[in-house]
Amino acid sequence: MYLKYIPALVCTFLLPVLSCHSASAAQETVRPKLGTVVIDAGHGGKDAGCVSRDGRTYEKNLTLAIAKQLGQKIKAEYPDVKVYYTRLTDRYLTLNERADIANRNHADLFISIHINANNSVSPSGFSAHIFGRSSGKDSDLFKGNMELCRRENSVILLEDDYSTNYQGFDPNDPESFIFFNLMQNAFYEQSLLFAGEVIQSLEGGPITKNRGISQDPFFVLWKTSMPSVLLELGFISNSADLKVLNSEKGRSQIASRLFDAFRKFKTKYDSSLDLSAQSLSVTEASPQTSSTIAGLPSGESAMYGIQIMASGREISATDKSFKGYRPLVVRDGSLYKYVICVSGEEKDVRSDLRSVVRKFPGAFVVEIRNGTIVRR
């Protein structure tokens, strides 16, 4: 699905997810803070990434330079924020290793920095990508995004035993994209929010064309258990973009705009716990709770449940991606949210959370009351 950036839409996604690293942590009602960020400089070592037409400029060097500058700006402004890099030198990392660095450091945000390329010299501009299903609605865009996915995922082929490490995933085989779980997880909203901030901040910068936000099946985004965005900051194959990317001033301007996006995202992440629903409706319920949720409770009454994922499209409650659970499907504005273990007792729901997070690491408890769905 291709998403043109719309500030009014993106700014409704204000619920920061407290990463569910353990059931006990998830049970605490605390105001979350964005305390850890992992910055991933794409490619490296034997994986050069995209190469300029004259063969002099490598993507791996551009991404590292911008990643370092972004990290330095974050640390200077927010000394209490832990900044980790997937690499600080020209070294090769697998996609699994990049995601593992983010996961083991319990990152609250993962930023993967890349530079785009095309066989034609005319395409230019920046774009942001969150994990999801690419859409064939615009066939030209879809074709381009699939080529981008194959290229960014193809680093897998540099590994000696990629068929074992990636469960048989072959980035050259379109059918292998079935390998991905293409449903949005609990971090969809936050990933979209940060992507939107990036797109808005890059507007008017040294690279002028805005290519928007899209959902795509990048392996490194699929493996990370936190809000994650992959950024393509320009085209190495376009002379105007390359001139900016090859200049210290151009890279510094880009890093400054990325920092501005981070600052705005952190402010929203740190200051809000609630996501108010503009239009909340129940579209399907599990048999065991149908009598409870036939009508949403009013007044002081409330229901509790565990949100396991969100999607821009409605998914059948019987879909196998729900791993045997039959969720309550709640429409919240333009999103469909999937809630399981619905009960009138919060303590019962929190007890269920211990087992749910094993299958859905980003799951969290929500309260449904008077037409709103609120993170507990």
Over residues 9-41, the pLDDT tens digits come to 233 233 333 333 333 333 344 456 899 999 999
Could you read off the pLDDT of 279-295 as tens digits, one per residue? 344 443 333 332 233 34
pLDDT at 272: 55
Sign of CA dihedral 134, 139, 141, 146: positive
The first and second tokens of residue 2, run together, are 């291709």
The first and second tokens of residue 21, run together, are 């690293």
The first and second tokens of residue 20, run together, are 């569910």
Burial environment of residue 339 by CB neighbours within 10 A (0 to 12, 13 to 18, 19 or more): buried
Could you read off the pLDDT of 142-201 as tens digits, one per residue? 344 445 555 545 544 444 554 444 444 554 444 444 334 433 345 777 888 899 899 999
Q: H/E element holding 65?
A: helix 59-77
pLDDT at 281: 42
- Give 311's pLDDT tier (boundaries 50, 70, 90): low
> The whole model's pTM is what?
0.61
CATH class of 280-375: alpha beta
94-105 average pLDDT score? 88
Question: Which of 2, 13, 20 has its CA nearest to residue 360?
Answer: 20
Which residues belong to CATH 3.30.70.1070 in the chain? Answer: 280-375
- Give 316's pLDDT tier (boundaries 50, 70, 90): confident
Identify whether the C-beta of residue 230 lies closer than 8 Å to the C-beta of residue 144. no
Q: Which CATH architecture has domain 2-271?
A: 3-Layer(aba) Sandwich (3.40)
Percentages (nearest 5) of helix, strand, coil residues in the chain: 35, 20, 40
Which residues belong to CATH 3.40.630.40 in the chain? Answer: 2-271
DSSP 240-300: HHHHHHTSHHHHHHHHHHHHHHHHHHHHHHHH------SSEEEEE--GGGTTTSSS---TT
